[in-house]
């Protein structure tokens, strides 16, 4: 009887300790994301649901349609993790919304982010076979959308072109720009591979063609990444006019991307990415893009900010993080630190400057900081 009781006690203790060790996440968390209906919100929701089922963690997702709306609560500590995109790069670089005195380069880190392809769709009848052929053609941009437009600038840079080399047409909304090709109001634009307007273009009399970004064009990629260092070569097999039999070499950025403040504890981030990995089988089929959250794909740079040490620790343990990844991260961290130092100096030196004068001073200081690296 005593032996049986001892065995039962050991079993119960093992279960209790096992349960305690498995509970590595907080009881509650708040995340920010893009608006309801977006891919970012849908994917954050699927992951939150998996966390809840496995760990019992209650997660509230706070959606916002603006970059400031997604980042401000994260920076203020009202949100634990953000499911973000290119605004992470803008925030760490002090660009666009983040170039005013109120902001400046923010100290952010990435936990993981799945690759999302981006490229230049063209009307097949516009005779744009490669990126260089867009010179002199009608290229659709989106007014007030720096996230899309900086990506299109990077595509042009691949071929050594700028906005001055094309017939740039600025459309008032994203939807209008995407529809412009099928309506013969433009010959090319820049976007993801799956918007409904791209499928409409593929079925229209004009047809669709994706101008390639070959990975072996080293000079093209150097120009592209000099402008947007968060891009990497990617072969896409899903989208309008694209299939496994007809893949297209493109570029990939990270969306959505799990972002935290730099001062988030290493243990907390380690446990988060571990949970992201351990629940992968529970959420990977939630949407067509969710399989790309596998850390073998989502745990490598380039991304929009340096990786967090807690994430790196787990990725090293899993054999995912490489020496090349570490070299990239060291370089990216040095860039961020240089920009933050330059920002502090610019603020101190321009205390009485007008907003316009300050913007000019920061643009100059930012470029000098980057060139000094």
The average pLDDT across 152-173 equals 97
In a domain, 14, yes or no: no
Residues 132 and 106 in one domain: no
H/E stretch holding 211 reads strand 208-211
Last residue of a domain, one of 211, 229, 253: 253
22 assigned to some structural domain: no
Same domain membership, residue 226 and residue 186: yes
Beta bridge partners of 63: 33
* Domain of residue 61, residue span: 27-114+258-371
In a domain, 208, yes or no: yes
Q: Which of 228, 253, 278 represents a domain boundary (last residue)?
A: 253
At 285 the pLDDT is: 95
273, 234: one domain: no
The answer on 246 and 149 residing in a single domain is yes
CATH number at residue 155: 3.40.190.10
Residue where the block lists tokens 């997660």: 59
pLDDT confidence of residue 22: 47
Instruction: Determine, yes or no, domain membership for 286.
Output: yes
Q: Is residue 340 part of a domain?
A: yes
Answer whether residue 195 is part of any domain: yes
Do the domain assignments include residue 131? yes
Top-confidence residue, 65 or 154: 154
Q: Are residues 159 and 242 in the same domain?
A: yes
The answer to whether 233 and 215 are in contact (CB under 8 A) is yes
Q: How many structural domains is the chain composed of?
A: 2
Helix (H) / strand (E) containing 196: helix 196-203
Both 103 and 40 in a single domain?
yes
Q: What are the C-alpha distances in Å from 36 to residues 99, 110, 254?
A: 28, 22, 19
Average confidence (pLDDT) over 197-205:
96
Q: How far, CA to CA in Å, does 97 sit from each of 64, 89, 102, 110, 205?
A: 15, 11, 10, 20, 40
pLDDT per residue as tens digits for the range 228-239? 999 999 999 999
pTM for the model stands at 0.86
Which residue did the predictor score with more confidence, 41 or 23? Answer: 41
Distance CA 256, CA 156 (A): 24
pLDDT classification of 2: cutoffs 50, 70, 90: low
The answer to whether residue 3 is domain-embedded is no
Task: Name the residue with tokens 């459309």.
Answer: 171
- Please tell me the distance from the alpha carbon of residue 2 to that of residue 298, in angstroms, as a whole number: 52
d(CA 122, CA 209): 5
Of 230, 253, 276, the last residue of a domain is 253
CA 155, CA 221: separation in Å to the nearest integer?
A: 9
């Amino acid at each position: 009887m005593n032996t049986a009781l001892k065995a039962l006690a050991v079993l119960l203790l093992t279960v209790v300790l096992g349960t305690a060790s498995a509970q590595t996440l907080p009881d509650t968390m708040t995340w920010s994301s893009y608006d309801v209906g977006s891919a970012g919100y849908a994917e954050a929701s699927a992951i939150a649901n998996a966390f809840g089922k496995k760990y019992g963690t209650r997660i509230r997702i706070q959606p916002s349609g603006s970059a400031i709306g997604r980042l401000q609560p994260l920076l203020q500590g009202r949100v634990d993790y953000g499911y973000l995109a290119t605004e992470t790069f803008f925030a760490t670089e002090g660009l666009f919304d983040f170039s005013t005195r109120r902001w400046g380069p923010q100290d952010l880190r990435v936990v993981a982010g799945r690759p999302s392809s981006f490229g230049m769709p063209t009307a097949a009848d516009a005779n744009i076979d490669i990126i260089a052929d867009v010179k002199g053609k009608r290229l659709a941009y989106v007014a007030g959308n720096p996230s899309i437009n900086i990506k299109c600038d990077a595509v042009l840079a691949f071929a050594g072109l700028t906005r001055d080399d094309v017939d740039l047409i600025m459309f008032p909304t994203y939807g209008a720009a995407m529809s412009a090709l099928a309506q013969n109001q433009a010959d090319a634009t820049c976007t993801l591979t799956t918007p409904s307007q791209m499928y409409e273009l593929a079925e229209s009399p004009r047809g669709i063609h994706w101008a390639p970004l070959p990975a072996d064009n080293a000079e093209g990629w150097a120009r592209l990444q000099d402008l947007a260092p968060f891009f990497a070569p990617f072969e896409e097999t899903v989208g309008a006019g694209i299939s496994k039999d007809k893949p297209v070499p493109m570029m990939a950025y990270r969306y959505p991307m799990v972002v935290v403040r730099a001062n988030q504890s290493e243990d907390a981030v380690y446990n988060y990415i571990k949970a992201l990995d351990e629940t992968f089988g529970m959420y990977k089929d939630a949407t067509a893009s969710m399989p790309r959250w596998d850390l073998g794909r989502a745990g490598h740079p380039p991304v929009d900010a340096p990786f967090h040490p807690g994430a790196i620790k787990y990725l090293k343990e899993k054999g995912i993080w490489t020496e090349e990844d570490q070299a990239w991260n060291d370089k990216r961290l040095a860039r961020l630190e240089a920009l933050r130092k330059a920002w502090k100096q610019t603020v101190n030196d321009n205390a009485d400057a007008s907003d316009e004068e300050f913007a000019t001073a920061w643009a100059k200081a930012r470029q000098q900081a980057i060139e000094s690296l």
